[in-house]
Every structure is written in C-alpha cells, then in structure tokens.
C-alpha cells in the first residue's frame, strides 16, 4: 500500500493538503531532514490533514520525523465524528533533544454509533504540546499495518507471577484477583511513579505494537529506550478499554522499555493483558 499522506515531505510550493492554523505555522528550508522543506511549528501553530474514507477497524500506522527545537512536539489523530478523542490518544511527545526522531502512532478508525457508512474520515494533527515550544516536522508516512507473529511478552493475564517480572518503582502495585475486564486478575497502581518492563530481543528498524487493557484517570502508557526518546498515549477512561501504542526501533536497537506512568498520587490505574507484537506495513 502506498503512503496515503498528501505532501508528506512538505516539498510542494504550498502546504496543501495540510491545513496550517495559527499565525506562525509555515514551511521552512532551514533544518530540514530530507528534501528542500520541512514544517515549522511555534506556539499556537498546528498542521492538520484530513484522511478520507479509511477502513473501520483496520490498523493504520502513522510515522513522522519530529525535531523538538524547544519543548515537545506531538502527532495526534481523531475521527471527525468524535474529535475530542484526539485529546486522549496522542503520541510523539519529545523533549528537546536537538535532532530529528521517528515517532510512531497506531490507530484503528471507528464508525460513529448507528452509522451506516462504510468508511471513516480522520484528522491527523501536528503541533507542540500545550501550544508551547518550537518544532520541525518532516517525512510523514501513513499506511495500513497488520499485527504478525506471537505475543513477545507471553503473558496471558496480570497475576502475581506476571507482576514479579515488572519493575514497580514507587507505584505500590497490587493484584486485584477479579478486577480484570474479563473477571480475572489485573494490577492496580496506587502511587505516583513508573511501572515498567524491559523487553529484549527485538529486531532493529522494525515497528511494534504494545496493547494493554486499561482504566483510570489521566495516566500514561508508553515506550522508551528503543532508539528514540519516548512515544506514549494518555489514558482517561472509567471502564476498561484496549489501548495501543506504536514504536519503531532504531537501526542499532533491539530492546524497549514499556511503562505506565502515574503523574500524581491520589489516583488509581488498572492494567491487564499487556502484549507486544510486530507490525508489518502494507
């Protein structure tokens, strides 16, 4: 399948089909990753592209090179019929590393409730976190993907045995025997901190999907240490939902650190059925 992003390298004389919002979103010839132009974002600036008639339930892989000159850059998506979801599903948060890094965003478009349409329109947005900072973005690639091969974590459920394989930090996790989405055990995080797992034996230059069933108020599910800094999504759901993050290993990387991050005390996060599988691009 071809790259379905229009003007993916920002090489045309005009930004279309990207819609630039804010007073200082622009194309620049300075600091490009490839070709002659890149997208330049400053506080309040945003670039949005409408992807039409995507297949409901199919896996799509959006990858782009983000350079956080100052602050963090982000890439998000939202179905046009429920755009508020874009606030809950975001990837590509970057600290100011001073170089381009590859960020990966996986999504499955969903039809609106009761819709008789056979396709979904999606908006892909590029901007800086909290509309602060400065970023360069180049070489966007969006195509279909498929999960292939076995689950590399090999965990059927999150019981006490599985918990002992994870680094718990200060999160004070406990196993809830019947608290999972299917009535089985799950883990509950009680305190601020990181709950993480180091997975070895990955292939370089390969895209992977990590999926977990999660519920709770405003915590993060992410991946780091795979050749780039961090890709993550934010979780905010009162009921268990499956959530997936994507990451692409670097040319010399064969490992990843998966994590759940509690940003503050006084909240609870519930996690179950974490799995990691390779993504084959179509």
- Residues 68 and 40 sit within 8 Å (Cβ to Cβ): no
pLDDT in tens, 26-45: 999 999 999 999 999 988 88
Q: Is the pLDDT of residue 206 over 70?
A: yes
Adjacency order of strands within the sheet including 73-79? 19-21, 46-54, 120-128, 73-79, 90-91
Burial of 131 from C-beta contacts in 10 A (0-12 / 13-18 / 19+): middle
pLDDT in tens, 89-123: 444 445 456 788 888 888 888 776 656 667 888 88
Name which residue leads in pLDDT, 127 or 205. Answer: 205
Query: pTM of the predicted model, to two decimals?
Result: 0.90
- Residues 4 and 51 sit within 8 Å (Cβ to Cβ): yes
pLDDT in tens, 64-78: 998 888 877 778 777
């Amino acid at each position: 399948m071809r790259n379905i992003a229009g003007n993916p390298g920002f090489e045309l004389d005009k930004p279309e089909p990207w819609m630039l919002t804010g007073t200082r979103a622009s194309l620049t010839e300075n600091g490009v990753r490839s070709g002659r132009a890149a997208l330049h974002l400053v506080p309040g600036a945003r670039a949005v592209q409408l992807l039409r008639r995507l297949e409901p339930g199919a896996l799509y892989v959006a990858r782009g090179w983000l350079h956080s000159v100052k602050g963090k850059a982000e890439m998000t998506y939202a179905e046009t019929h429920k755009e508020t979801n874009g606030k809950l599903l975001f990837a590509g948060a970057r600290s100011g590393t001073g170089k381009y890094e590859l960020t990966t965003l996986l999504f499955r478009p969903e039809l609106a409730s009761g819709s008789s349409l056979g396709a979904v329109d999606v908006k892909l947005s590029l901007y800086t976190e909290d509309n602060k900072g400065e970023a360069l973005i180049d070489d966007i690639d969006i195509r279909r993907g498929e999960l292939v091969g076995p689950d590399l974590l090999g965990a059927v459920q999150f019981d006490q045995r599985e918990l002992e394989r994870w680094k718990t930090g200060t999160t004070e996790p406990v196993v809830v025997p019947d608290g999972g989405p299917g009535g089985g055990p799950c883990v509950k995080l009680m305190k601020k901190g990181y709950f993480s797992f180091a997975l070895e034996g990955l292939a370089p230059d390969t895209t992977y999907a990590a999926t977990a069933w999660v519920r709770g108020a405003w915590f993060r599910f992410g991946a780091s240490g795979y050749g780039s800094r961090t890709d993550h999504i934010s979780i905010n759901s009162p009921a268990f939902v499956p959530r997936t993050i994507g990451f692409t290993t670097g040319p010399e990387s064969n490992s990843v650190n998966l994590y759940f991050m509690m940003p503050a005390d006084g909240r609870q996060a519930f996690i179950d059925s974490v799995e990691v599988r390779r993504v084959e691009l179509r």
